[in-house]
Amino acid sequence: YGWRPAVALVVLVAFPTFVMIYSKVRPIRAQRPNQRMRSRLKLSDIVGFIIRPSIAFTMVITIIATSILQGTISFLPTFLINQHHYSATIAGILFGIFFIVMGIGQIGVGSISDTYGRDVSISGCMILGSIGFGVLVYGNQFLVVGGGIILVGIGLSFNAALHPRFLDVMSNSEQTRGFGLVRT
């Protein structure tokens, strides 16, 4: 259909979203309007927070996993076209399935994370993702590659366990600035 219908669909979704946000979200008053943000942040506090073992370990895992996620998002369609010789349409459909699985997978990973623990969920995601990547590289049949897409999608749903892992090791007073810092 070309690129024009894609842009039209984005507008159809974006415009009502903008209207809803504009009509429903109200501004909040600043708690300290006369105090500069920079005066509230000290480099020594930031460094001390980041090098805390529980934070540093989770940050390393997050950096690695997010890099894998970004690489997958950037190159999965190209990989499917070049490795498996799928058409751009089939690669795009599989890419869409990957995102749907990730969206649904985050619900399951979050639930498992709350029930069985963050580390169990994160480890499970890494194992399933690794198996899925192996299937994508070495699988030859379409259904096998589809299974690999599903495993990778579930594996890359790790954020639903990693983000709460950060919050678990932060005090209530650290959560606002600390979570923003580690997400940045």
- Taking Cα atoms as reference points, which of 127, 150, 131, 126 lies closest to residue 61? 126
- Taking Cα atoms as reference points, which of 93, 108, 100, 99 lies closest to residue 161? 108
Predicted structure pTM score? 0.80
- pLDDT number for residue 74: 95
Contacts of 147 (CB under 8 A, 6+ apart): 132, 135, 139
Tens-digit pLDDT profile for residues 45-100:
888 889 999 999 999 999 999 999 999 999 999 999 999 999 999 999 999 999 99
Half-sphere exposure of 139 (CA within 13 A, CB side): 18
Q: What is the largest CA-CA distance in the chain?
A: 63
Tens-digit pLDDT profile for residues 133-150:
999 999 989 999 999 999
